[in-house]
């Protein structure tokens, strides 16, 4: 257990925010597989202020077991403050500010990792957002913007000074996107220099790696992103290993199929069948990765917008894998 502000987080395994992935259905499953904390997809400050339905849907955490962190992005201090207040009113127990997104569309507006190029502004944003709400505020960022601009330690110090309740660090620069290896030494260095909780992130592909990051960096918690695509089982594996010292078996094909169907049903419940079946295509490609003969079924999955038909196709993964 550790604390973010005065909130107890029941274990050290956290689901990373992923736009287009970590929607309500995904978060419910991540929690059921044991995550101590989950994040929403990043939510646009402007979208919230202008009450865009799509943005509000992304920020909606109704019916979810707390705590859930709602992540906002933007670079205008006033808009971020208004958005944070709004999110607090909607019931967010923790608000995170995105200072790590590398996407050109985001960077071009001065948002996400672009804020690592303007630390005075990053400072002002953190200070004002912290002042504007009563819930804990956290900040997620990268190692730096580029190899000549590695300033995560400085930004972490700023976050702590300005009242952030935790920081999450992805050990890559913006220029690296997702290439190369995540630098765990920067996480270790930041942990050595901060008193607020430090969440380590980057390249945790197995439960063993989760444990290794904690041992290597001494970070307070770890955050898993890409390894959980179609594989929420990794959360349970990591919780069991890190918190209880147990290694659990990887899921069987039946467990993968049942979880994929459950994921589809949750997605349909919250987004409606048409959108859910479309969005589930990518999740199902991930869930079925490595299953012998799945390629043919994926083609059929990508052609249906009917939930019952999609479920039949998912079930058929069990039979082809034994053929």
Ligand X SMILES: Cc1cc2nc3c(=O)[nH]c(=O)nc-3n(C[C@H](O)[C@H](O)[C@H](O)COP(=O)(O)O)c2cc1C
How far apart CA 178 and CA 281 sit, in angstroms, is: 23
* CB atoms closer than 10 angstroms to residue 60: 17
How far apart CA 148 and CA 140 sit, in angstroms, is: 20
> Shortest gap between Cβ of 142 and ligand X (angstroms)?
8
Considering only 4-12, 115-123, 156-164, 199-207, which stretch makes contact with ligand X by CB under 6 A?
199-207
Q: Where are the alpha helices (DSSP H) in the chain?
A: 24-32, 45-49, 53-59, 77-89, 104-107, 119-132, 152-161, 184-193, 207-217, 233-239, 253-271, 273-287, 294-301, 307-320
Q: What angle do CA 187, 199, 137 make, to 5 degrees?
A: 125
> Shortest gap between Cβ of 70 and ligand X (angstroms)?
11
> Shortest gap between Cβ of 206 and ligand X (angstroms)?
11
Using CB under 6 A, which of 115, 129, 224, 264 touches ligand X?
224
Considering only 97-105, 143-151, 252-260, 271-279, which stretch makes contact with ligand X by CB under 6 A?
97-105
The answer to whether residue 16 forms part of the interface with ligand X (CB under 6 A) is yes
* CB atoms closer than 10 angstroms to residue 280: 25
Paired with 221 in beta bridges are 199
Strand 2-4, strand 7-9: pairing: antiparallel
The answer to whether residue 165 forms part of the interface with ligand X (CB under 6 A) is no
Paired with 138 in beta bridges are 96, 166
> Shortest gap between Cβ of 156 and ligand X (angstroms)?
15
Using CB under 6 A, which of 9, 14, 42, 137 touches ligand X?
42
Helix (H, G, I), strand (E, B) or coil at 110: coil
The answer to whether residue 74 forms part of the interface with ligand X (CB under 6 A) is no
Closest by CA to 167, choosing from 144, 140, 128, 194, is 140
Closest by CA to 25, choosing from 177, 199, 232, is 232
Using CB under 6 A, which of 170, 188, 191, 271 touches ligand X?
170
> Shortest gap between Cβ of 17 and ligand X (angstroms)?
4
Using CB under 6 A, which of 201, 231, 236, 288 touches ligand X?
201
Q: Please, which residue, 98 or 307, has the CB nearer to ligand X? A: 98
Contact positions with ligand X (CB under 6 A) in 117-146:
140
Considering only 207-215, 218-226, 241-249, 299-307, which stretch makes contact with ligand X by CB under 6 A?
218-226
- Yes or no: say if 27 and 15 are a contact pair by the CB < 8 Å rule: yes
The answer to whether residue 41 forms part of the interface with ligand X (CB under 6 A) is yes
Q: Please, which residue, 234 or 261, has the CB nearer to ligand X? A: 234
Q: Residues 6 or more apart from 9 whose CB is under 8 A from it? A: 1, 2, 3, 36, 37, 67, 221
Using CB under 6 A, which of 2, 7, 10, 19 touches ligand X?
19
Q: Is 101 a catalytic residue?
A: yes
Q: Please, which residue, 219 or 313, has the CB nearer to ligand X? A: 219
> Shortest gap between Cβ of 220 and ligand X (angstroms)?
16
Catalytic residue among 58, 72, 101, 264: 101
Using CB under 6 A, which of 21, 37, 49, 199 touches ligand X?
21
b or e along 93-123 (b: 16 or more beta carbons within 10 Å of the residue's beta carbon)? bbbbbbbbbbeeebbeeebbbbbbbeeeebb
Q: What residue is closest to ligand X based on CB? A: 225
Contact positions with ligand X (CB under 6 A) in 229-258:
none
> Shortest gap between Cβ of 297 and ligand X (angstroms)?
23
> Site residues (CB under 6 A) for ligand X?
16-21, 41-42, 71, 98, 100-101, 140, 170, 201-204, 224-227
Active site residues: 101
């Amino acid at each position: 257990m550790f604390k973010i502000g005065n909130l107890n987080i029941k274990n050290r395994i956290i689901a990373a925010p992923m736009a287009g992935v970590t929607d309500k259905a995904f978060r419910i499953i991540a929690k059921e597989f044991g995550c101590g904390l989950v994040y929403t997809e990043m939510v646009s400050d402007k979208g919230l202020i202008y009450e865009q339905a799509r943005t509000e849907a992304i920020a909606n955490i109704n019916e979810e077991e707390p705590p859930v962190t709602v992540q906002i992005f933007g670079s205008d201090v006033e808009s971020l403050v208004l958005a944070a207040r709004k999110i607090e009113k909607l019931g967010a127990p923790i608000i995170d500010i995105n200072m790590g997104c590398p996407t050109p569309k985001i960077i071009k507006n001065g948002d996400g990792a672009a804020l690592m190029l303007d630390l005075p502004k990053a400072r002002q944003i953190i200070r004002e957002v912290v002042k504007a709400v009563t819930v804990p505020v956290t900040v997620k960022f990268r190692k730096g913007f580029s190899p000549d601009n590695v300033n995560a330690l400085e930004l972490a110090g700023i976050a702590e000074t300005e009242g952030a309740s935790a920081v999450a660090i992805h050990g890559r620069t913006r220029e690296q996107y997702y290439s190369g290896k995540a630098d765990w030494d920067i996480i270790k260095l930041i942990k050595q220099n901060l008193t607020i909780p430090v969440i380590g992130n980057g390249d945790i592909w197995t439960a063993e790696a989760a444990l290794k990051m904690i041992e290597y960096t001494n970070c307070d918690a770890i955050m898993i992103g890409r390894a959980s695509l179609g594989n929420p089982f990794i959360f349970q594996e990591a919780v069991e290993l890190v918190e209880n010292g147990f290694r659990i078996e990887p899921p069987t094909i039946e467990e993968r199929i049942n979880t994929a169907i459950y994921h589809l049903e949750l997605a349909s419940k919250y987004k409606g069948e048409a959108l859910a079946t479309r969005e589930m295509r990518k999740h199902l490609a991930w869930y079925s990765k490595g299953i012998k003969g799945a390629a043919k079924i994926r083609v059929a999955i990508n052609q249906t917008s009917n939930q019952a038909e999609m479920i039949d196709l998912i079930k058929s993964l069990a039979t082809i894998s034994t053929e």
